[in-house]
Structure 1
Amino acid sequence: MLWKQLEVLKDHWGQLKLGDQDISSASFHKQYSELYEADILYPSMKAIARQMGKEDEFERLIINSQSILPPKGASEIEIKTQQLQKLLENIEIHMIQEVLRKVNKEMTLVLSEKSKKESTLPTDLWKHQVMKENFSVARPQIVEKFIQKLMENYQDSGPEITFRKDHLEACLLSLGCDVMARERSNFETYSMCYEHVLQHTRQKLCQKEQELEVLQRSQVPPEDHADQVAELSHDMIMEITALRAQLTDLEEENINLKKQIKEEVQEEYEALVQALFMTCLHRKEKLNENWLNLTQKVCELISEVRTEGITNMKELRKKWGSARPDEGIKENVAKESIRSKKECLRIKLMAEQEAGLFRQQLLALRQALASAQADNAKMRKRQDDQVSELQTLLLPLLERSLQS
């Protein structure tokens, strides 16, 4: 089952890498094999070797054999599982890149449509304000009409005014009709007003209920949006997986950089220490040679002075043969000994000067070694700062992704 899944994923990965090309052909199969070894097989074997603690041995094995072989002691299930996991990570990264490419394309289209100038007419200028209704009941002229109609037919007899009975009844009947008409009009007007008030209140109540329903829907997501939530969760998981893969690659790169820096510094130190050791040996040999030469010269000078003194003493004895010449011989011997001592002192001073020069050169070499050590410490500190900066940049992204 594991082998079948691995083969299916390998075919799918090869199609993603090479497009619609036929992998079974010789040229494309060779290209596919090279890509698979570089992107999947080598990182998988390296991860297994790191887990087993045999990374250095694995690197040496690859350098010696010029081919990617599994580390010793790794089972076939571990090898296939690691390859399967690496294939899944690569396919997820490819899917994420495709989604991002599609989103960027759609965003570009939206921005291009948005940037276009609209050719529609400004209809806002045609809109009018809503008319305000003022409710006012018209005052009927009932009394005026009654008086006017009553005064149309009367008899004036001085201080009294008389009306006919039928005329008065007709006026009263007209007055009653006008009063009933007024009451009917008032009833219709007020009932219409109440209906409008109730309708307006009902509309406001419906609007508030709709707003409350929308608010409740926004607070509690309905089951219809479960697909969107699942899709967002899947996208977040894919993004977290991609970030983890990037973090793993950065950690591997950091480990490789540390090893490389360590090897370079070690090589520089080895060369410097070896040069310092050879210089010290050379200086020591020179000091020994100078000391031997100085001793030999002093001995030769002493022997020459002694032989000269002896010959001079013999000649003086032969020539004078008395005590006074012995005194002259003693003086000559004393002078020769003083001269030899001066010569020895001069040679010693020269040797001490050379030894001082050698000490200065040794001190300069030690200072160069100390400066190299300080540069190495600065380089290590800079590398640690870079590692800490990378961690501070990546950890908030992972935490934000996990929290969201």
Structure 2
Amino acid sequence: MLPEAEKLQFLKKTELFSELPETELKSICQIANEVAYPADTTLFEEGDEGDSLYLMVDGEVSIIKAGTEVLFFNEKGYCLGEIALIDNKPRSATVKTVKSTQFLRITRHDFYNAMAREPRIGSGMFRVLNDKIRRDLEIQMSAIRKEVAQEESMRLAAEVQQSLLPNQEISHPYVSSAGYCQPANSVGGDYYDYLSLPDNSIAIFLGDVMGHGYHSAMVAAMTKSCLQTQIPFDASVPEVMKAITRVIEGSRTFIYMTCCYLIIHPDNRFEFANAGHPQMLLYRGNNSEPLELESTFMPVGFARFCESEQYYSTEVEWHSGDLLVLYSDGITEACNPDAEMYGLERFKALISEKRHLSPMKIKTEILSDLRVYQQDESTTDDITLVVAKFL
């Protein structure tokens, strides 16, 4: 608790009450209640009704506009929340404590009564508001600069993420492909790649990192780096999966990734591992129902909570004319305006109907049907698709 003498000296040094005689300052002391908040406490949020003003005795606060921290203040005597008392409008910004902070708090009712008794409080308010105009301009300019910087950062991150994807499709004597990746936001956590192996084999990787923001995109970038480092040494399915697991589990924060990794060999076979990812769909000849190559392992990153996975590959024959489709759940879980999912059955039926087409045309048909189904409903998850046809 501040002794009354210290409280008087504090009030006398504030812009709001500096012109008041000591007798009136003593009455202000009676209505200025001490309050203290620990770090990371919200005093009030943008849009809240204003019922009190605060004078900072000690500590530090951050000013947040439209979700962005734009300024920090640790100035003793700094006045917060007075504008909402005057214009009866909602709070214009959110204020949070950066560290343990102490204030003197005066309610709207007490403040109005004090102004009625002592007009010189109005002069102090004028000085405070004049200072706030200058500071608000600074806040707005700072917010604009930060927003521009964030937009530029996200634009560069999106460019980096696009550079992770293959710059051309597979064009090989025994397989051709068509791929697509569209993040829900500027950047996302989906990633696919094609890799040429020394024995004339082709590897395909498709991963879906938890979430679809900046951090997920960085994990996807780490995964690509891992693949490029591991494959020249040992491109086998178990070793690549173990290498990716080391990268994901090496993250300081919990994050996981579902993924498929497969190697297509020229002797009419491919081998794969599916770690928590939606089943790959293999259409054979004229058979309308696909062989569903389901997950046999937990998502990469889950093993940190239990016994480590012992990865192995599953081998499947392929024949000329077969079609293999890999995808993320952003396709099957996309919703229309009635919140109904696109669904696996519709997806499989469409592929079956179009499987005679080239991979590029099949990809186009899938994305077109998905857009028609969604009816302009916004996408909430990353969408990734790889269509591979055996020749």
- Give the structure with higher Rg (CA): 1
**TM-score scaled by length of structure 2:** 0.22
Instruction: Tell me which protein shows more helix as a share of its residues.
Output: 1
**TM-score scaled by length of structure 1:** 0.21
